[in-house]
Amino acid sequence: MKLLTHNMMQSHVKGISRRFPLLIKPETVRVVEQEFNPDFVRRMLGRIEYEALQQAMTWLGHEGKLPKDCPSEDENNEDILKAIHHALLEVEMVEGKLVCPESGREFPVKNGIPNMLLNEDEV
């Protein structure tokens, strides 16, 4: 699971108010190189929650490369864009858990696929 996906996800358990961000408890993490597309990264800058992305990188043990503040959407510095591209698309959690920030419900991640199925009483 890529961090771009994690950044867009929220918990959908019934009756809670704080749904984002899902906490990450990683077991296996890998880095897979992806094609760099500055347009896409710029487009996503307005959509991502930057603090949550920084937090997620710390959880996965890859902190340090990201700039401190979220760059604006017309950022042209390639190094900064590449650092964000790396965080969003290249660092992946293969095995581990996602945890709902309020209810503490755990969603297991196997082979890179999070299991987001709820029980009938949680819908």
Partner 1 sequence: MRPEHTAPPEVFYNTDEAKKYSRNTRIMEIQATMSERAIEMLCLPEDQPSFILDIGCGSGLSGECLSEQGHHWVGMDISEAMLDVAVSERETDGDVQLADMGQGIHYRAGVFDGAISISAVQWLCNADKKGHSPPKRLYQFFKTLYSSLRHGARAVLQLYPETPDQMELIMYQATRAGFSGGVVVDYPNSAKAKKYYLCLFAGIQQGQAQVPAGLTDEMDTATNTDRMRTKDFRSAGGVKNATRKQKVIARKERHLRKGKTTKHSENTKYTGRQRRPKF
Chain positions contacting partner 1, by CB under 8 A? 1-2, 4-5, 8-12, 20, 34, 37, 39-40, 43-44, 47, 49, 111-118, 120, 123
Least gap, CB of 106 to partner 1 (angstroms): 14
Distance CA 1, CA 28 (A): 11
Question: Residue 25 or 47: which CB sits closer to partner 1?
Answer: 47
Q: What is the Cα gyration radius of the chain?
A: 15
21's tokens = 């961000």
Which residue type does 43 have? R
Angle at 111 between CA 108 and CA 116, to 5 degrees: 35
3 state SS of 26? strand
Provide, rounded to whole angstroms, the least separation between the CB of residue 71 and partner 1: 18
- Which CB, 64 or 123, lies closer to partner 1? 123
State which residue, 37 or 58, has the beta carbon closest to partner 1.
37
Give least dist CB 113 to partner 1, A.
Answer: 5
Residue 67 or 112: the one with the smaller Cβ distance to partner 1 is 112
Cα distances (Å, whole numbers) of residue 54 to 16, 65, 84, 110: 24, 10, 10, 23
Least distance from partner 1 to the Cβ atom of residue 56, Å: 14
